[in-house]
A and B are shown apart, each in its own frame.
Chain A
Amino acid sequence: MTLPTLYNFDLDDHCYRLRLTASICGVDLDILNINTFPGHDHLAPDYLLKNPLGRVPTLEHDGLILRETAAIQTYIAALSKNKSFVPESLVEQAAMTDWMIFADRDLASASAARATALLDVPGDGPALTATARKMLQIMEDHMTRQRVLGKAFFVANTVTLADLALFPAFALSRDFSIDHDAFPALRRWARQLRTVDGFITMPGIPDYH
């Protein structure tokens, strides 16, 4: 069977989310690098055939093409022999999906703030950072409550896809001038996540901590 191909850019937070998911799930990917910055290869005609939205990541496997990060995460988890990253309980599955959509829609402010700061993407940096800070505060409030309830992760007491979806925005927040001082519950959660087998970093997230 062929490996799934991930069209990837190493500095993109969504692409990292998928490399992290695949590594923790123990799923091998064929990684094909697209030079989006400074090359703009995501706008090349051949790439637009794969993903007319003109962005990374894209996943291609046996004729299937997926463009949304949450959908690709779910697909990678389905290929994994380890089924623990998607909870069996429907209630927990719903909570997991809720946070994955939050990661894609609401944390888009964090991705955009970072892209504006680092990758020359036009945008109102201070406004995006202010919104992203609000989103991290929502995550901090949730993990503060989870601690009282005796749960180490966003949905359960074990890692689910939700944690892997939310981790990059927090871990990379210093790239867009948000320090970790005011987020003790997220610091604790991030330290826990780093101990999970298969955890990997990306540029901007130190190996040592």
Chain B
Amino acid sequence: MTMTGWIPLSLSHDIEAGSSAGAVLNGAEVVVWRDTDGRPHIWEDRCPHRGMKLSFGFVRGDHIACLYHGWEFGETGQCQKIPAHPDLEVPKSICAQTYSVAEAAGMIWVHTPLETTEANTSPSPSAPTSRVAHCVRSLYLDVPLERALAALPAAFGASVKVENSVASINAPLVDLHIGLHPVTDTQCALHITAEGQPDTAVLLDILARAEKLRGSLEAELETAR
């Protein structure tokens, strides 16, 4: 499933301030990180020095540092510090590849095709509802996104409406909004949020349905082999 526009790569609550994680979008490796002030960033997951994944690195203030040699990059992607050469004024040409990022509806989004913030002029992702989004879980599945989408109505017991990379479901106990994230041609992630402040029993029910969904898709894969 080729999708363009804003694509969600993570639930907001899974990228804590001062932390980073890797993510894959249509086979492209990116790092999703939050500075200590809580602002999200999505970049190519590659240090321009030796190609090490920046998602293995660490966040200090508004910089992300590479685990290999500690090169630090600021929010524009430009290298700010090379620890092995503390007195060097770092050339402006040393720059990590940044992408256009947004946070809305309990998720962190990147704009596709992947491009820098300056190049992207489209409006921010629109939230599917004005009610507050409660992050539930990201479910990673070894099936193409189309296959996962087709299984959603049975899994949550209601019909599904897809708009702007979000599947909305008026499930019996709660309204769900699920971010659709194609990882590769054969893998996807569903970033599940619920409207309002669902109670514990409702949340545990969603988690159980999510695990059963994954189980049934895996069983199908096994049969197909």
Residues of chain A having any CB pair with chain B under 8 Å? 141, 144-145, 148-149, 174, 179-182, 184-185, 187-188, 191, 206, 208-209
Q: List 25 A-B contacts (CB under 8 A).
A: A141-B207, A141-B211, A144-B137, A144-B207, A145-B204, A148-B200, A148-B203, A148-B204, A149-B200, A179-B22, A180-B22, A181-B22, A181-B23, A181-B24, A182-B138, A182-B140, A182-B189, A184-B11, A185-B14, A185-B137, A187-B19, A187-B21, A188-B16, A206-B58, A206-B67
A143 to chain B, nearest CB (A): 10
A148-B200, A206-B67 known; A184 vs B207 contact (CB < 8 Å): no
Could you tell me which residues of chain B, from 56 to 110, have a CB within 8 Å of some CB in chain A?
A: 56-58, 65, 67
The size bracket of the interface on B is 20 to 34
Q: Is the CB of B22 within 8 A of A184?
A: no
A126 to chain B, nearest CB (A): 14
Q: Is the interface of A mostly helix, strand, loop or mixed?
A: helix
Q: Is the CB of B16 within 8 A of A191?
A: yes
Q: Is the CB of B14 within 8 A of A187?
A: yes
B57 to chain A, nearest CB (A): 8
Chain B residues near A184 (CB-CB < 8 A): 10-11, 14, 21, 137-138
B137 to chain A, nearest CB (A): 5
Q: Is the CB of A208 within 8 A of B204?
A: no
Could you tell me which residues of chain B, from 173 to 225, have a CB within 8 Å of some CB in chain A?
A: 189, 200, 203-204, 207, 211
The CA-CA distance from A187 to B15 in the complex, in Å, is 9
Q: Is the CB of B67 within 8 A of A208?
A: yes
Chain B residues near A144 (CB-CB < 8 A): 137, 207
The CA-CA distance from A181 to B10 in the complex, in Å, is 10
Residues of chain B having any CB pair with chain A under 8 Å? 10-11, 14, 16, 19, 21-24, 56-58, 65, 67, 137-138, 140, 189, 200, 203-204, 207, 211
A204 to chain B, nearest CB (A): 11
Residue of A149, A174, A209 most packed against chain B (CB within 10 A): A209
18 other A-B residue contacts (CB within 8 Å) besides A145-B207, A179-B22, A181-B22: A144-B207, A148-B200, A149-B200, A180-B21, A180-B22, A181-B24, A182-B138, A182-B140, A184-B21, A184-B137, A185-B14, A187-B14, A187-B21, A188-B14, A208-B58, A208-B65, A209-B19, A209-B58
Residue of A180, A181, A187, A191 most packed against chain B (CB within 10 A): A181
A15 to chain B, nearest CB (A): 24
The CA-CA distance from A187 to B16 in the complex, in Å, is 10
The CA-CA distance from A18 to B12 in the complex, in Å, is 35
Q: Which residue of B lies closest to A138 (CB)?
A: B211
The CA-CA distance from A208 to B54 in the complex, in Å, is 13
Chain B residues near A182 (CB-CB < 8 A): 138, 140, 189
Chain A residues near B23 (CB-CB < 8 A): 181
The CA-CA distance from A206 to B69 in the complex, in Å, is 13
A43 to chain B, nearest CB (A): 35
The CA-CA distance from A70 to B67 in the complex, in Å, is 32
Chain B residues near A208 (CB-CB < 8 A): 57-58, 65, 67
Q: Which residue of B lies closest to A179 (CB)?
A: B22
A140 to chain B, nearest CB (A): 9
The CA-CA distance from A144 to B14 in the complex, in Å, is 11
